Amino acid sequence: MRDKRLSAFDVAAEIRDGMTLGVGGWGSRRKPMALLRAILRSSVKDLTIVSYGGPDVGLLCAAGKVRRLVTGFVSLDSIPLDPHYRAARQQGRVEAVELDEGMLQWGLYAASLRLPFLPTRAGLGSDVLALAPHVRTVRSPYEDGEELVAVPAIRLDVAICHLNRADASGNAQFLGPDLYFDDLFLGAAARRFISVEQVVPTAELLAGGSIHTMKIHRGLVDGVVEAPRGAHFTECVPDYGRDEAMQARYVAAAADPAAWNAFYSELVS
C-alpha cells in the first residue's frame, strides 16, 4: 500500500483561489485545526467553505479567505455563536447559504454517490427554500406524487478532516462517539486529506474488535498528516476535550483588534 504521509503545508498548497473546501467535524468538535492553520498562513482567497461550522468558519472569515459559505449552522457548542462569523455576516463580507442540517448531509451524500440530487422532506414548510432559491422541489414518480425537496449535490474540490488514528495509506479510525459526516465530506471531494493524532500500523487499527470505528478507507484519502493535538482548541475525544479557556480567549479577542492580532499570531505561528 502506498505511503500517503504529507505535511500540513503540502495540503495547504493543494488549495487554490476560488475552490470549494469542505471541512469535517461538527461545531467545535474535531476540526482539522492544524490543517486550517496552514491554510491561514497561505495566500489563498475567495473560497467557498462547506461545513457544519465552528471556529474553522470564524477563523477563515476573520482572515478574509471566504467568499461563500454553505452550512447548517456555525456554533462553538459551549458558546452559541462564533463572533467572527457573525461579524462577517452582519458586514456582508460573505455570501451565506444556510441549509437544514439534514439537507447539507444529503447534498454531500448525493455528491459522494455521484448523483445530481437526492430527495428529502427536510426543509419543507420552512423558509430554507425561500432563502436558498437554487434548491428546488420534485414530485415523486410513484402513486402518491409527494412533493419533496431535491437537494443538489454539494461537490467539493478539496475536503479536510481530523480523526484519531490512521495508517500511512489512509485507512482512518475515529474513537469518539460520532463520525460527524467526515466520510461524506471525503466522498464528495475531488481531493481528500486527513490529519490524525497518530499514524500507526494497520494491525493496530483493527486491534480489539474496533472494526466499526473504521469508517474511512484509503480509497477516500489522498494524503495523511500526522498532527498530535491537531484539532486543538476543539475537542478530539477520547484524546482530549475542548480547551474552553482558549476558546473563551478566541471569542473575547474578537471585540478588541489588538487582542485579536495577538491571539491570531499565536494561533498560526
Q: Where are the domains of the chain?
A: 8-264
Q: Does domain 8-264 have CATH number 3.40.50.1980?
A: no
pTM: 0.96
* Residue with the larger pLDDT of the pair 7 and 130: 7
Q: How confident is the model at residue 251 (pLDDT cuts 50, 70, 90)?
A: very high
Encode pLDDT of 81-132 as tens digits: 999 999 999 999 999 999 999 999 999 999 999 999 999 999 998 898 888 8
**Whole-angstrom distance, CA of residue 178 vs CA of residue 166:** 16
Encode pLDDT of 164-192 as tens digits: 999 999 999 999 999 999 999 999 999 99
Encode pLDDT of 21-73 as tens digits: 999 999 999 999 999 999 999 999 999 999 999 999 999 999 999 999 999 99
Judge contact between 32 and 216, C-beta under 8 A.
Answer: no
In this predicted structure, the answer to whether residue 209 has a pLDDT above a threshold of 70 is: no
Residue 18: helix, strand or coil by DSSP? coil
**Which letter, b or e, does each residue of 163-197 get, where b requires 16 or more Cβ atoms within 10 Å of its Cβ?**
bbbbbbbbbbbbebeebbbbbbbbbbbebbbbbbb
